[in-house]
Amino acid sequence: MRALDVIPVLDALCPMHMVLSGTGHVTHAGATLCKLRPMQDLQNARFLELFEVQRPRGLTTMEDLRRVAGTRMHLQFRDTPKTGFKGILVPWQDGAVVNLSFGISILDAVRDYALTNADFAATDMTVEMLYLVEAKSAAMEASRKLNQRLQAARVAAEEQAYTDTLTGLKNRRALDHVLNRLGESGAPFALMHLDLDFFKSVNDTLGHAAGDRVLQKVARYLVDETREQDTVARVGGDEFVIVLPGLTDPARIESIARRIIDRLEKPIPFQGKMCRISCSIGTTRSDLYRRPDMARMMGDADVALYVSKRQGRARHTIYEPSPADTPPDPRPALQAAQK
Amino acid sequence: MHGLMNRAIECFVRDAYGDDRWADVARIAQLGFDGFEAMLRYETSLTWRVLDAITDVLGKPRNDVLEDIGTYLVSHPKTEALRRLLRFGGVDFVDFLHSLDDLPERARLAVDDLDLPRLELRDLSSNSFSLTVHADFAGFGHVMVGVLRAMADDYGALVMLDHSGDAGPIEVISIVLVETAYAEGRSFHLGAGAG
């Protein structure tokens, strides 16, 4: 078969082919290749001067090229735009035929050269690939937007949540809610503020995982040692508040606090090590106030807690109003009964 | 019904008639939420309720609404991505018509749980065709009439379209191509939407 006979076939099937002479010069190029570089630039230029063959390496002569016939080549234009190609070379007469395709550089190439469907062989999957790239980008964008909205909804839900995620106890938001409800009802209750002792050293010496484990155990103990109707909330890193409705008797409050302290002083095992903590508690009672103000009661429980800490930890203190404070209302029970 | 379809219906009302009209539709259809999520699935009955509500709110027959939705999908600036995806189907309008058989497969390549109705193109002569729509969702043929009308415009072709009327789950659209290059058409560059 003569060279001329095969060229129309190559033109129809491989719009990115080149015919090389025995000296490695381009004698003919397919239509799409001519769109990338004008024919006068291609014609009679040396193939290896037009293209840098990156793999296989070290090809410098036509003999080198013919030797790698049949293996996949990676190459790019030496001048800009330095479009990358995949290519394959087949010896032909005393020269060769090289066929190229864009490979992964296709997205840049269609833009750099304004390629159209007509620039690709009818059997080429490139246009399908471009379709897929766009279709997937559009679908991804829709999914990304959905994820963003879900994330925003999650943040909003967490802000509105009543549960502390680490311990499963109520959080501060829930506590405020409970206290407001109690305040409105006028029912008597005790407010216990509890702060762990030596928790920081557990965190520092055994790590945060141990710390988290301790907090979870403490949460369990607090729930165990209180009644169904009591509210146990985690209000800070190692701070808890317990609300005990219907309970104002100092002796009973003291016994509950004592039980909690004793329970928390039992070492908590974590990965073969023992975590030792304790706790200090300050309590105030609603019957100490003419009209229980939640912020003030929290503050007073905190004062009592501070007294416990100062006395050497593992203590419980019930708040004592100083004589300067408003004296207790003598008729709190009567008030509650009238409601 | 896939969220993409529901979302398309919603966007059509919002973009063509305004958010207030969509709020009316959502209320009448008792959606219980503001809008559809494109990547979730919904009960098909919900889609029917929405279409009924749109028919009420716009005071238009349902088939006209469906055709308008089809036109909107191709011609509105906000749906440019979809127009481009359809234009990948062919270099001219006839080429595009022949790509319709593959449309459900193409859609599944992009979104694997998106089930489009099976489409079947028959060449009756060099310039007349029929498109058979096998839809679970009766009325999809009217959406396709809108899509075809807008795509013909996009390619610059002049066509006459006729929906055979609602006949069960199979709808037939007859297509007569009057002129392939009637107008300029809109441009389409392969690389314009990538990356």
> What residues of chain B lie within 8 A of the CB of A149, using their CB?
37
Pick A130's closest partner by Cβ from B4, B82, B88.
Answer: B88
Same domain, A182 and A229: yes
Same domain, B54 and B113: no
Same domain, B42 and B97: no
> What residues of chain A lie within 8 A of the CB of B91, using their CB?
116-118
SS3 B33: coil
Same domain, B78 and B100: yes
Same domain, A155 and A177: no
Q: How far is A151 from chain B (nearest CA, A)?
A: 14
The band of B136, judged by pLDDT with boundaries at 50, 70 and 90, is: confident
Establish if B66 belongs to a structural domain.
Answer: no
Establish if B190 belongs to a structural domain.
Answer: no
Average pLDDT on A69-86 reads 94
Q: Are A227 and A177 in contact (CB under 8 A)?
A: no
Same domain, A142 and A41: no
Average pLDDT on B113-128 reads 93
Q: How far apart are CA B56 and CA A153, in angstroms?
A: 32
In sequence order, the β-bridge partners of residue B121 are: B131
Establish if B99 belongs to a structural domain.
Answer: yes
Q: Which of A138, A160, A182 is the last residue of a domain?
A: A160
Same domain, B18 and B104: no
Same domain, B79 and B162: yes
Same domain, B23 and B116: no
Same domain, A92 and A189: no
- Give the best residue of A32, A134, A145, A150 to mutate against chain B (max B CB count within 10 A): A134
Helices (H), chain B: 3-17, 19-28, 44-58, 62-75, 80-87, 93-99, 103-110, 140-155
Same domain, A262 and A330: yes
Domains of chain B: total: 2
- Strands A316-318 and A278-285 turn out to be parallel
Pick A116's closest partner by Cβ from B38, B81, B190.
Answer: B190
> Which of A268, A267, A269, A244 shows the shortest CA–CA distance to A255?
A244
Q: Which of A160, A183, A214 is the last residue of a domain?
A: A160
Q: Are A184 and A237 in contact (CB under 8 A)?
A: no
Residues 73-112 in B contacting A (C-alpha not used; CB under 8 Å): 81-82, 84-85, 88, 90-91, 106, 109-111
CB contact under 8 A, B37 and A149: yes
Pick A135's closest partner by Cβ from B38, B39, B85.
Answer: B85
Q: What is the CATH number of the domain that holds A56?
A: 3.30.450.260
Contacts of A31 (CB under 8 A, 6+ apart): A11, A15, A119
Per-residue burial over A112-129, b if 16 or more Cβ lie within 10 Å, else e, is ebebbbebbeeebebbee
pLDDT tens sequence across A258-288: 999 999 999 999 998 899 999 999 999 999 9
Enter the DSSP assignment of A234. E
Same domain, A114 and A232: no
The band of A321, judged by pLDDT with boundaries at 50, 70 and 90, is: confident
ipTM above 0.85, yes or no: no
Establish if B195 belongs to a structural domain.
Answer: no
The band of A332, judged by pLDDT with boundaries at 50, 70 and 90, is: very low
Say if residue A331's pLDDT is above 60.
no
Average pLDDT on B130-140 reads 88
Average pLDDT on A238-245 reads 96
Helix and strand counts by DSSP (H, E) for chain A: 13, 13
Same domain, A186 and A252: yes
Establish if B187 belongs to a structural domain.
Answer: no
Q: Which two tokens stand for residue B162?
A: 């006729």
> What residues of chain B lie within 8 A of the CB of A132, using their CB?
109-110
Establish if A305 belongs to a structural domain.
Answer: yes
pLDDT tens sequence across A121-132: 989 888 888 888
Summarize chain B as % helix, strand, coil (round to 5): 50, 15, 30
Establish if B186 belongs to a structural domain.
Answer: no
Q: Which amino acid is at A298?
A: M
Percent of chain A predicted with pLDDT > 70: 94
Instruction: Inform me whether the C-beta atom of residue B34 falls under 8 Å from chain A C-beta atoms.
Output: no
Say if residue A334's pLDDT is above 60.
no
Q: Tell me, what's the pLDDT at A1?
A: 53
- pTM of the full structure: 0.64
Q: Are B106 and A131 in contact (CB under 8 A)?
A: yes
> What residues of chain B lie within 8 A of the CB of A117, using their CB?
90-91, 190
Q: How far apart are CA B195 and CA A104, in angstroms?
A: 13
CB contact under 8 A, A127 and B190: yes
Same domain, B8 and B96: no
Q: How far is B72 from chain A (nearest CA, A)?
A: 17
Establish if A165 belongs to a structural domain.
Answer: no
Say if residue B133's pLDDT is above 50.
yes
Q: Which of A197, A238, A293, A329 is catalytic?
A: A238
Q: How far is B181 from chain A (nearest CA, A)?
A: 17
pLDDT tens sequence across A7-17: 999 999 999 99
SS3 A96: strand
Say if residue A339's pLDDT is above 50.
no
Q: Which two tokens stand for residue A68?
A: 């790698």
Q: What φ, ψ does residue B34 adopt, rounded to 5°?
A: -75, -40
Q: How far is A141 from chain B (nearest CA, A)?
A: 10
Establish if A26 belongs to a structural domain.
Answer: yes
Residue B14 structural domain: 3-60
Q: What is the CATH number of the domain that holds A192?
A: 3.30.70.270
SS3 A267: coil
Same domain, B12 and B39: yes
Average pLDDT on A46-51 reads 96
Establish if A167 belongs to a structural domain.
Answer: no
Q: Which amino acid is at A246?
A: G
The verdict on whether A238 is a catalytic residue reads yes
Same domain, B56 and B79: no
Establish if B49 belongs to a structural domain.
Answer: yes
Same domain, A155 and A105: no
Q: What is the CATH number of the domain that holds B122?
A: 3.90.1520.10
Q: Tell me, what's the pLDDT at A111?
A: 85
Q: How far apart are CA A333 and CA A326, in angstroms?
A: 18
Q: Which of A136, A160, A184 is the last residue of a domain?
A: A160
Say if residue B28's pLDDT is above 60.
yes
Contacts of B28 (CB under 8 A, 6+ apart): B53, B56, B57
Same domain, B77 and B143: yes
What is the sign, positive or negative, of the torsion defined by CA atoms of A251, A252, A257, A261? positive
A245: number of CA atoms within 13 Å, CB side?
Answer: 16
Q: Tell me, what's the pLDDT at A313?
A: 85
> What residues of chain B lie within 8 A of the CB of A114, using their CB?
189, 191
Of A85-94, A293-302, A309-318, A328-337, minimum mean pLDDT range: A328-337
Q: How far apart are CA B133 and CA B140, in angstroms?
A: 7
Say if residue A336's pLDDT is above 80.
no
Q: How far apart are CA B149 and CA B161, in angstroms?
A: 7
Q: Tell me, what's the pLDDT at A185?
A: 86
Same domain, A270 and A331: yes
Same domain, A270 and A188: yes
Establish if B156 belongs to a structural domain.
Answer: yes
Pick B190's closest partner by Cβ from A110, A136, A138.
Answer: A110
Same domain, A146 and A216: no
Domains of chain A: total: 3
Q: Tell me, what's the pLDDT at A126?
A: 87
Residue A93 structural domain: 3-123
Average pLDDT on A226-248 reads 94
